[in-house]
């Protein structure tokens, strides 16, 4: 599961009525620890759940989004309160404290780190005292308040008391306080300024209040009061939901940018390589300063490794080298606390788990999987076809697709009915199509790489033709118009025309096809072939029906093509010959990089006789929403 980077979360049925330790099926504390180790090994969490609250498990799922482990701590003597300290970054939106213990009691304290009446200044708290006192009385006042009196010699005369603190850079050196002194005036009563560090031995952070989530150093305490026969063990796992996300792996070379899943057991040059993301990465980034390595079973501290930045890498943070702790022991899992500062100077921490790989990637005895065989001459895995990687652990595409996933370099495809009933509309299109396409691509000139044209009438479709410019396509369309003699009809071989048009070099995916016709499909037997071409090219089919008095199609006749258009991600429009160009000019430009959110009438069999509300989900990166509607009756 760790190889797939899957976080496993466990929900443990627990109630005091279960004997002997509150777990079902007579499970013991050791059984719980086994589940905890398995789940914790994937950076997941075990949630003890009362049997009557099983239905509430779903409420946990939203808390897993953009979450990360901050810290974990446990003790086997929790009758005495266990103190836990953990940092919270500025991007944290929720804090999740997963605790375990018999009859436990908890207190949580936030990061408001200056007492009432004190103002925060960097790592210190300042108290401005207006009540005037002598130097000695002011010094005594500050000492009793847990701080020190700030003062500075008179630098202009060189006289005064001994300098202890330089405040000239604090922006308050000009204040008439006990800051500037000369000999003989220490008994003068003046206002004064006290200073103390935010965190001292007597400071207790404020109790957390409603809607209060300040960044900084938080703390909590947990104690238990177990019944007879129950252990006084307790544990705390702290997770946060934050846009500050860490992705980490291992390397044995400072230049490596492809991380290993685990460090190498017999290597002395293991390094952490990490990527750090926050909400404001485009302008400023958080930093990693160091990491701490400690045993996952007993908390033994093993090592510390300082992080340094490097350039030109996907993983821009690299640590000092370290040997894999306890690497020759099978039970060698260890936690890593990655510590740094967010963009605002707040300390943050993320915890990950690792396992020393005794014979894995680049070790003396590589493990070959998926049918790979270790070469005795090169000591490397020889992989069968379809697998690659140092251990043959990666599937490989034997015939890579040439597709490029981009919103540019698409195909603009036209399947146009050229018959006597559509001549006026098509002639108008010939005169305006270059301008329509030029307008649509003005902001995105690389949208279309080629253009495809197929014309059709009652005799069938023409052979497809591909062009490098819209002007060349228009010349070909104009030539087809000059030869048009077919009387047309209310049903024509539309699916054959689609099949022909999409059989050319149509860019995959998301090319645009415009079917312009005054007919409905008369070749439903060819529908399957047309749908296969649409599926292969992932083109969007836009069905533009030219209304006329000659044909009044039924719903049954229209539905096959309407369904085809909507299911391809395209659209349907009813227009007449006089407004075809204005419709295309307005509509084509909206298709660049767009996706269909919903087709409400598709679910109601295109019946709009009864009004109904319809809801769609819009993501935060959406820049525009277009709603299009059409009807046979205007």
Mapping DSSP onto H, E and C, the string for 404-457 reads CCCCCCEEEEEEEECCHHHHHHHHHHHHHHHHHHHHHCCCCCCCEEEEEEEEEE
Query: Which pLDDT value is given to residue 155?
Result: 41
- Over residues 15-27, mean pLDDT: 66
pLDDT in the model for residue 82: 94
The Cα-based distances of 575 to 40, 208, 289, 545, 550 in angstroms read 62, 63, 64, 6, 14
**pLDDT score at 7:** 78
Domains of the chain: 1-64 (no CATH), 119-197 (3.10.100.10), 243-354 (2.60.40), 410-595 (3.40.50.410)
Please give the average per-residue pLDDT across 23-37, as a whole number: 70
Please, which pLDDT band fits residue 633 given cuts at 50, 70 and 90? low
Alpha-carbon distance 314 to 185, whole Å? Answer: 63
Residue 365 sits at the vertex; the CA angle it makes with 361 and 370, to the nearest 5 degrees, is 65
Q: What is the mean pLDDT of residues 45-74?
A: 83
Of 53-62, 64-73, 201-210, the least confident: 201-210
**pLDDT value, residue 358:** 65
Residues 270-291: what's their mean pLDDT? 88
What pLDDT does residue 29 have? 67
Where do we find the tokens 């007579």? 26
Closest CA to 577 of 550, 553, 542: 550
Tell me if 472 sits within 8 A of 450, measured CB to CB: no
- For the ranges 98-102, 359-363, 548-552, 610-614, the lowest mean pLDDT is seen at 359-363
pLDDT greater than 50 at residue 165: no
Q: What is the DSSP string of 298-365?
A: T--EEEEEEEEE-SS-SS-EEEPPBPPTTTTSSS--EEEEEEEE-TTS-EEEEEEEE--BSS-TTSSS
Cα 69 from Cα 348, distance rounded (Å): 11
Residue 364 is predicted with a pLDDT of 62
- Would you tell me how many other CB atoms lie within 10 Å of the CB of residue 210? 4
Q: Which residue has the tokens 């938080």?
A: 218
Q: For residue 122, what pLDDT band results from cuts at 50, 70 and 90?
A: low
pLDDT of residue 1 exceeding 60:
no
How far, in Å, are 122, 423, 553, 577, 608 from residue 547 at the CA level? 73, 13, 10, 8, 20
pLDDT band at 261; cut points 50, 70, 90: confident
Residue given tokens 């890593």 in the structure block: 336
Predicted local confidence at residue 147, as pLDDT: 87
* pLDDT tens-digit readout, 304-326: 999 999 999 999 999 999 998 88
- Rounded to the nearest 10°, the torsion over CA 115, 121, 126, 130 is -120
> Given this model, what pLDDT does residue 361 score?
53
> 340 vs 367, which has greater pLDDT?
340
DSSP 8-class letter at 568: T
**Close Cβ partners of 397 (under 8 Å, ≥ 6 residues apart):** none
Q: Which of 146, 136, 140, 147 is nearest to 181 (CA)?
A: 136
pLDDT at 354 over 60: yes
For the full predicted model, state whether its pTM sits above 0.85.
no
CB atoms within 10 A of CB 309: 11
Using pLDDT thresholds of 50, 70 and 90, give the confidence band for residue 634: very low
Q: Tokens at residue 509, please?
A: 């995916």
- For residue 291, pLDDT beyond 80: yes
The pLDDT assigned to 214 comes to: 80
Lowest mean pLDDT across 135-139, 157-161, 162-166, 259-263: 157-161
Say how far apart CA 501 and CA 526 lie, in whole Å: 14
Q: Which of 552, 529, 551, 531 is nearest to 541 (CA)?
A: 531
Region 430-443: mean pLDDT is 95
Q: Which of 309, 581, 571 is CA-nearest to residue 433?
A: 581
Cα gap 300→113, rounded to integer Å:
30
The values of phi and psi at residue 109, to 5°, are: -125, 135
pLDDT on residue 349: 95
Which tokens sit at 535?
């599926």
**Can you give the pLDDT at residue 385?**
92
422, pLDDT greater than 60: yes
Q: Check residue 389 and report its DSSP letter.
A: S
pLDDT digits (tens, 9 = 90+) for 210-233: 455 788 888 899 999 998 878 898
DSSP assignments along 472-483, one per residue: HHHHHHHHHHHT
Look at 34-38, 44-48, 387-391, 591-595 and tell me which has the smallest mean pLDDT: 34-38
| Residue 615: per-residue pLDDT | 85
The more confidently predicted of residues 276 and 116 is 276
Q: Using alpha carbons only, give the angle 617, 622, 625 rounded to the nearest 5 degrees.
A: 75
pLDDT for 50 equals: 76
User: What percent of the chain clears pLDDT 70, i.e. is strictly above it?
Assistant: 85
Q: pLDDT tens for residues 449-489?
A: 999 999 999 999 999 999 999 999 999 999 999 999 999 99
For residue 163, count other CB atoms closer than 10 A to its CB: 12
């Amino acid at each position: 599961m760790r190889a797939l980077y899957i976080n496993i979360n466990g929900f443990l049925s627990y109630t005091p009525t279960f004997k002997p330790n509150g777990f079902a099926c007579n499970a013991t504390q050791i059984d719980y620890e086994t589940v905890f180790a398995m789940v914790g090994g994937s950076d997941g969490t075990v949630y003890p759940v009362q049997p009557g609250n099983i239905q509430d498990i779903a409420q946990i799922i939203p808390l897993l989004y953009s979450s990360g482990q901050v810290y974990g701590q446990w003790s086997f003597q929790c009758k005495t309160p266990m103190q836990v300290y953990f940092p919270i970054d500025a991007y944290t939106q929720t804090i999740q404290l997963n605790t375990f213990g018999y009859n436990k009691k908890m207190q949580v304290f936030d990061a408001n780190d200056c007492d009432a009446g004190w103002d925060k200044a960097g790592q210190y708290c300042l108290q401005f005292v207006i009540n005037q006192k002598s130097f000695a009385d002011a010094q005594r006042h500050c000492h009793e308040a847990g701080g020190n009196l700030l003062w500075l010699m008179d630098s202009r005369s060189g006289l005064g008391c001994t300098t202890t603190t330089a405040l000239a850079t604090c922006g308050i050196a000009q204040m008439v306080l006990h800051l500037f002194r000369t000999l003989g005036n220490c008994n003068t009563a003046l206002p004064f300024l006290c200073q103390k560090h935010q965190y001292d031995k007597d400071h207790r952070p404020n109790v957390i209040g409603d809607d209060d989530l300040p960044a900084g150093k938080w703390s909590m305490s947990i104690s238990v009061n177990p019944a007879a026969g129950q252990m006084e063990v307790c544990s705390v796992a702290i997770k946060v939901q934050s846009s500050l996300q860490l992705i980490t792996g291992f390397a044995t070379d400072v230049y490596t940018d492809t991380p290993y899943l685990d460090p190498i057991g017999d290597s002395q040059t293991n390094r952490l390589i990490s990527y750090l993301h926050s909400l404001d990465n485009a302008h400023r980034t958080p930093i990693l300063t160091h990491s701490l390595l400690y045993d996952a079973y007993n908390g033994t501290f093993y090592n510390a490794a300082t992080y340094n930045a490097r350039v030109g890498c996907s993983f821009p943070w690299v640590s000092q080298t370290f040997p894999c702790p306890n690497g020759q022991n099978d039970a060698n899992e260890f936690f890593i606390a990655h510590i740094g500062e967010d963009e605002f100077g707040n300390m943050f921490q993320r915890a990950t788990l690792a396992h020393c790989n005794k014979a894995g990637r680049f070790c003396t005895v590589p493990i070959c999987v998926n049918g790979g065989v270790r070469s005795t001459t090169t000591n490397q895995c020889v992989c069968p076809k379809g697998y690659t990687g140092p251990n043959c652990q990666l599937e490989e595409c034997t015939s890579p697709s040439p597709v490029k996933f981009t919103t540019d370099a698409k195909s603009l495809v036209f399947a146009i009915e050229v018959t006597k009933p559509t001549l006026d509309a098509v002639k108008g299109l010939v005169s305006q199509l270059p301008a329509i396409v030029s307008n649509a691509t003005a902001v995105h000139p690389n949208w279309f790489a080629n253009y495809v044209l197929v014309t059709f009438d009652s005799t069938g479709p023409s052979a497809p033709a591909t062009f490098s410019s819209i002007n060349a396509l228009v010349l070909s369309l104009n030539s087809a118009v000059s030869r048009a003699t077919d009387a047309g009809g209310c049903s024509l071989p539309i699916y054959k025309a689609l099949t022909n048009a999409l059989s050319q070099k149509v860019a995959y995916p998301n090319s645009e096809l415009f079917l312009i016709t005054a007919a409905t499909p008369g070749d439903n037997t060819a529908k399957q072939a047309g749908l296969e071409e649409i599926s292969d090219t992932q083109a969007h089919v836009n069905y533009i029906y030219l209304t006329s008095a000659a044909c009044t199609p039924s719903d049954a006749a229209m539905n096959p093509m309407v369904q085809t258009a909507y299911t391809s991600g395209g659209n349907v429009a009813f227009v007449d010959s006089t407004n075809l160009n204005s419709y295309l000019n307005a509509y084509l430009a909206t298709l660049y990089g767009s996706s269909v959110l919903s087709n409400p009438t598709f679910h109601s069999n295109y019946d709009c006789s009864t009004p109904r509300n319809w809801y769609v989900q819009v993501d935060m990166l959406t820049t525009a929403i277009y709603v299009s509607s059409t009807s046979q009756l205007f």
